Amino acid sequence: MTATGLSSESRERRITFARIIGLRCLVALFIGFQFWDIVGLRINASPSLPIGLYVTSSAASANLVEFCPAEPFASLALSRGYRDPGACSDGGAPLLKPVVARAGDLVELSAAGIAVNGHLWPNTAPLRRDTKGRPLSSWPLGRYIVQPGFIWVASSYNSRSFDSRYFGPLAISSIRDYVKPLLTLR
């Protein structure tokens, strides 16, 4: 055997070893994410809520919900990059938002923002353009009584949140999980 043959054989072993290690890392990562989902942990890195670790809850009274938006808003959010790829049926990631209104509440959507039972939520004024200058259409301005089976969601944490000010009431049937903060950077 020549020195060249040994070098080529050694290089193939290193490549094979690297592939095995890479595959094991991917499997471990996949299992890790599956485990986090099974135990109900969620990581939020979006600006709509404080960055941190959240946990699912069986309490329908939890103030945060994880949901897949309805069409055509789901496709709009995905195509514009408001959502990452993920587990929703449209291929996008679920959204995590605070609940601001429940059945029976009076919601008033105006240029000033979302008011619920007379309380104006800060940072909820609908914007006319997104960060890239593309036009945004708000839900029709007006007064709404939240109907049974629906909620309104909005982030007062970030004025650029994509929430009910753009897609209106959210069907409770679209909620994947109720969520509570566990550890956040706020």
Question: What digits encode the pLDDT tens for the residues 149-170?
Answer: 999 999 998 999 999 999 999 9
Q: From CA 10, how far away is CA 1, in angstroms rounded?
A: 13
Q: What is the pTM of this model?
A: 0.77
Radius of gyration in angstroms for the set of CA atoms belonging to the chain, rounded to a whole number: 22
Domain regions of the chain by residue span:
1-39, 46-184
The residues near 39 (Cβ < 8 Å, ≥ 6 apart) are none
CATH topology (fold) of 46-184:
Umud Fragment, subunit A (2.10.109)
> Looking at residue 37, what is its pLDDT?
55
Q: What pLDDT is attached to residue 137?
A: 95
Q: Are 151 and 99 in contact (CB under 8 A)?
A: yes
Q: In the chain, which residues have pLDDT < 50?
A: 1, 26-36
DSSP code for 47: T
